[in-house]
Chain A
Amino acid sequence: MRALALISVIIGLPLLAACVTINVYFPAVAAEKAADRIIEDVWGPNGEGPKDNTESTDSGDEATQSRAPDGTNWAGLATARVLDWFVPAAQAAEPNIDINTPAIKRITRSMEQRHSELKPHYEAGAIGLTEDALVAVRDLNSVPLPKRSRVKQLVSEENADRNALYKEIAKANGHPEWESDIRGVFAERWIEKAPSGWYHRRGGDWKQK
């Protein structure tokens, strides 16, 4: 995603200079920042993963990220970050992702309230994060029997909120077609920011962070 953003920045610059109408690419870097803000709102400081984003060793789609085999693309990341701050034109070519609409705030608040109930189940490995930016039941054996159905209910409510959130962010930014891109960014960021010990699923297999 960052590589994509970088490409759009590089293409965007000369185009801007020439005052040509620019196609709006999906603003991946801005979307990532927006996702991080929402995740922090929902999970709070306790749910945070490592602060240092450059430590992302196992996140995202390898193919689109064109990363080194060890998973780290220091140069690319640094360039993207520098360009992001340094070049005002980049901001123009890359519209911001707005997450301050009442609807998004409302969904975020609802997820935040639910999180206190979900958190122990993430920690116990009863539930985990999925590659499609949702939550799924992994193994309910750590949950007392009377509570199992409740956990399943929480998961389905959480997923309803998450689906609404991705749709709403795309809609609020005037690009409903961005929904799947936004979902992709969130899928990566939820897992990236999850504390160690939590589970995430890829290709049907659960992995522990």
Chain B
Amino acid sequence: MAGAVIGITDAAANAELGIHIGQLSRNGWTVEDIQLDYSTSADTLAVALRIGAIQSPAGQAITDVALDCTELRADDNSLRCHDPSARVDLPRLGPQRLDLMLRYQPASQTVGISIDGLELAGGGLAMEAEWHQGDWRAFVQGEGLRLDGLTELLGRQLPAGWQASGELNGTVTLAGRDRVPRRLIAALKTKAVTFNGPTGLRAGEALDGSLEWRARRQTGNWVGQAELDLTAGQLYIDPIFTDFGARPLSLAGDAVVRPAQGIVELLGFQLQQHGVLEAAGNARLTREPPYLARAQLRDLKAELPAAYTTYAQPLLRGTAAGDLVTAGQLSARAEIRNGALAELRVTPKALDMRDDKGRFALSRITGDIAWSREDGEPTRRSVIAWQDGSIYGIKLGSSRLTLALNGDNARLTAPAAIPILDGALVIDELAVRDSTGTDRSGRLDARLEPVSMQLLTQALGWPRFNGRLAGELPSLSYEDGIATLGGAFRVSAFGGAIRANDVSLSNPLANLPEFSADITVEGLDLDTLTGTFEFGRITGSLDGRIEDLRLLGWQPAAFRAWFQNPTDDPRPHRISQRAVENLASLGGAGGAAALSRGFLRFFEDFGYRDLGLGCVLREDVCVMRGLADKGQGYYIVRGSGVPRVDVIGYVNTVSWPTLVEQIRSATAAGGPVVR
């Protein structure tokens, strides 16, 4: 103590006492310039305290403290300062004018203080505290506290690139004994909380929510119940977006907070997002990565399509399941270990899904799908079944697959038959490997049991073919985005055989799938073929090759094609007027029109020796050739007998789109008519 001045005046009933202390120091605290004035009048006692500065050991100063207690009243068991007001200049908060109430009950030795009107972070704070022989209780109520102001006030800086704003309201009650807090009740509400992470991969906008937490302290941990409700606003945690205004979320359960370890345990919680999903489970959250260290989700029920569009689709984009229209329900249980999914069991219930691009659809899916992260033989077989479906418009029948799923692997454990139209795809072996989406590979051994070409072409919207399609798909493998057929795919159609060798398909799911193959045809019955295409009737057999066929986006990009009659053709060779005209127009021969006008129009068809036509396609241009050169042109059909009709092509290069258009109009029902 240094330099205390005490002045006393006493004028009849009124007494005044003034004490001034220059400086007080203790434990690193310094209080300077203290002035205490005390006065009495008839029945009241007034106290006025002025402090120039209070210096904390950390060097922060509270200056200009003024406390006026104009009416200090003592009744039977308490000493209350009525209507006091305080003025204080606080570090970071600036000058404040506070409503202050001090109470003292000598009988129970209870000290009470309440402070109201503290202005901070754009809002207000009120506090109440009471001490009673070592037991204490404190109550804080905040209103309209701005988050950015609060972080500034706490001297905390958000990590680089982060921004937060919004409002916090609520109350916190804390009770304890001596220096140890023992009970806590918090009821906090956020209003319009908006935050942004670096590069915008984590962000929230206008989030309204509430947190209620009641806990007791047990051996250093807080044990109690917590409930979190998010009722408005939007959240984006890359790549998942959800709108709590449309789909509010609530999470309630027992919570154990272990401050020393930085761990929060949620026990027996109920999670519900309205119209999306609900689940019960346990979880362990950590302050450090992986944040969600452990979780068990039981009785997870997902509502489709909301659960798919919100939580599954963003993760599945770029895969076959990335663009689905879903309906129905599924229940599941899941286990998360070390921040990653470790076990998953899904039971779809009458689930419908179809690809939005129309590539495939499956309906009434049921089953029991079990997946485990562990490598090795899975303990449980998965079953997946569907009532019906389609692929590229081709109808699939009811099927049931049993699979073994674990790690990055999926494998068919028993041969399966998937009905396709009136036939079936019989899968003997199927194994797929997908390591985090980058290294996908697979293997399929299957055969196609005869499918009616008529139904197939109808489903694909092609000209109607007759015959049946059947074939082996020997060891179809998929690696580095390329599906390759190990052997030849054989199809029986049009009374002959079609064989595809070196078949491969690149980037099947991409914008521009690339298909390549070498195709050989043998002994096709021209009568059936031309009958199908309404091209004009031709009889005979047809052999041919399409070499280095390359389709991009299922459109021909390049090939070398050649078709002709086999030598020693057992079938008779006749060609109709219309077929002659159509063939001639493909070769660009104008002379064929003469056929219609001259005496030849009296003949319905003609005999011919042989026919042959080839096209080498490159860059949308088809370079045509025929059986042999004839002057400026080439023979497409060499006639025989009387009358002899030759079809000669004169055009060597044709634009492919034009050629396709010509073939289309030639095969249309209302094509050119021979008069």
Chain A residues proximal to chain B, CB less than 8 Å: 98, 100-103, 106-107, 110, 126, 137-143, 145-146, 148-149, 152-153, 156-157, 160-161, 164, 172
Report whether B318 and A145 are in contact in the complex, using a CB–CB cutoff of 8 Å. no
Q: Across the interface, which residues of A come within 8 angstroms of B236, CB to CB?
A: 145, 148-149
Most buried by B among A110, A140, A145: A145
B511 within 8 A of A: yes
Docked CA distance A152–B237 (Å): 13
Q: Which residues of B contact A172 (CB under 8 A)?
A: 619
Residues of A within 8 A of B557 (CB): 101-103
B250-303 residues with Cβ-Cβ distance < 8 A to A are: none
The distance from the CB of B605 to the nearest CB of chain A, in whole angstroms, is 37
Contact with A along B199-229 (1 / 0, CB 8 A): 1110111000000000000000000000000
B552 touches A145 (CB 8 A): no
From 474 to 513 in chain B, residues with beta carbon under 8 angstroms from any chain A beta carbon are: 507, 510-512
On whether the beta carbons of A141 and B239 are closer than 8 Å, the reply is no
Interchain CB contact (< 8 A) of A146 among B196, B234, B510, B619: B234
A-B contact pairs, 20 of them (CB 8 A): A98-B619, A100-B619, A101-B557, A102-B555, A126-B200, A141-B199, A142-B200, A143-B200, A145-B204, A145-B205, A146-B234, A148-B201, A148-B203, A148-B241, A149-B238, A149-B240, A149-B241, A149-B314, A157-B511, A164-B512
Q: Which residues of A contact B37 (CB under 8 A)?
A: none
Most chain B CB atoms below 10 A, which of A98, A126, A140: A140
Given contact pairs A102-B557, A103-B557, A107-B512, A145 touches B235 in the complex (Cβ within 8 A): yes
Give the docked Cα–Cα distance between A161 and B586 (Å).
35
- Chain A residues near B317 (CB-CB < 8 A): 149, 153, 156
A/B pair count, beta carbons within 8 Å: 76
Q: Interface residues, chain B, CB within 8 Å of chain A?
A: 196, 198-201, 203-205, 234-236, 238-241, 243, 314, 317-318, 507, 510-512, 552-553, 555, 557, 619-620
B199: chain A residues within 8 A (beta carbon): 137-141
Question: B232 → chain A, closest Cβ, in Å?
Answer: 13
Q: How far is the CA of A146 from the CA of B314 in the complex (A)?
A: 12
B616 to chain A minimum Cβ distance, whole angstroms, is: 15
How far in angstroms is the closest Cβ of chain A from B551? Answer: 10
CA of A102 to CA of B552 in the docked complex: distance in angstroms? Answer: 8
A141-B196, A145-B234 given; A103·B203 CB < 8 A: no
> What is the distance, in angstroms, from A122's C-beta to the closest C-beta of chain B?
15
Q: Distance (Å) between the CB of B653 and the closest chain A CB?
A: 15
A143 to B314, CA, bound (A): 17
Question: In the complex the two chains form, what is the Cα distance from A143 to B204 in whole Å?
Answer: 12
Q: Is the CB of A103 within 8 A of B200?
A: no
Q: A101-B620, A156-B318 are in contact. Are A145 and B241 (CB under 8 A)?
A: yes
Residue on B nearest A148 in the bound complex, by CB: B236
**Which of the residues A101, A110, A141, A148 comes within 8 Å of B238, measured between beta carbons?**
A148
Q: By CB atoms of chain B within 10 A, which of A101, A148, A157 has the most?
A: A148
Q: Are A106 and B512 in contact (CB under 8 A)?
A: yes
Contacts A103-B557, A107-B511, A141-B196 supplied; 20 other A-B pairs, CB < 8 Å: A98-B619, A100-B619, A102-B620, A106-B512, A106-B553, A137-B199, A138-B199, A139-B198, A141-B199, A142-B200, A145-B203, A145-B205, A145-B234, A146-B243, A148-B239, A149-B238, A149-B241, A156-B318, A164-B510, A164-B512
